[in-house]
Amino acid sequence: MPQELEIYQYDTATNTTLPLFLSPVAAGFPSPADDFLDKKLDLNEHLIKHPASTFFVKVKGDSMVKAGIHPGDILVVDRSLEPLDKKIVIAILDGEFTVKRIQKKGSQLFLASENENYQPIEVTDGADFEIWGVVTTVIHPV
């Protein structure tokens, strides 16, 4: 079953840098010995490789929960990437957007959920189908 998605275009004018500590953190904050910042991290630069073809998509529905994609999550989607087997993609199937994992079995193509309550959807020759983009990052609030 297709999910409803909200799609947002990447704003290239946005540039926010945040502190980045180069010292790894096991399970907490850096030690007092690391009270200086090593460099700045721009999340746009870190998460977005192809700004002209990148969009953000807000997820509604639970069909991808076992892949770590939950309702309300924001997906970073790159339309310039090749949709390879086993990749998570945003697809348009019969006029509806959905987020699913591509599964190729011989000459058959399926859009698979990551939730046992949903069966894989076979994409048949007569289907109105397009892969809109490849999911590169999931932003999941804790």
The yes-or-no verdict on residue 1 having pLDDT over 50 is no
CA angle 42, 45, 51 (to 5 degrees): 140
Single out the residue of 80, 91, 141, 77 nearest to residue 120, CA to CA: 91
pTM confidence score: 0.77
pLDDT value of residue 3: 52
Residues 95, 123: Cα–Cα separation, whole Å: 13
How many other CB atoms sit within 10 Å of the CB of residue 22?
A: 9
Residue 136, class by beta-carbon neighbours within 10 Å (0-12 exposed, 13-18 middle, 19+ buried)?
Answer: middle
Confidence of residue 4 (pLDDT cuts 50, 70, 90): low
Structure tokens at 142: 């804790």
pLDDT in tens, 77-129: 999 999 999 999 999 999 899 999 999 999 999 999 999 999 999 999 889 99
pLDDT score, position 30? 55
On whether the CB atoms of residues 53 and 132 are closer than 8 A, the answer is no
* Residue 48 three-state SS: coil
Q: Which residues are catalytic?
A: 63, 100
User: CATH 2.10.109.10 region(s) of the chain?
Assistant: 5-10+51-139
Model confidence at 28, in pLDDT bands (50, 70, 90)? Answer: low
32 by DSSP, 3-state: which? helix
What are the pLDDT digits (tens) for 35-94?
Answer: 555 677 778 888 888 988 999 899 999 999 999 999 999 999 999 999 999 999 999 999
| pLDDT at residue 46 in the model | 81
Say what the pLDDT of residue 133 is. 95
Please answer whether residues 110 and 120 qualify as being in contact, where contact means their C-beta atoms are separated by less than 8 angstroms.
yes
CATH entry 2.10.109.10 includes domain 5-10+51-139 = yes
Q: Provide the pLDDT for residue 70.
A: 96
Query: How remote is the C-alpha of 69 from its chain's centroid?
Result: 8
pLDDT beyond 70 at 32: no
pLDDT of residue 18: 55
pLDDT of residue 34: 53
Q: If you ran DSSP here, which 8-state letter would residue 67 be given?
A: G
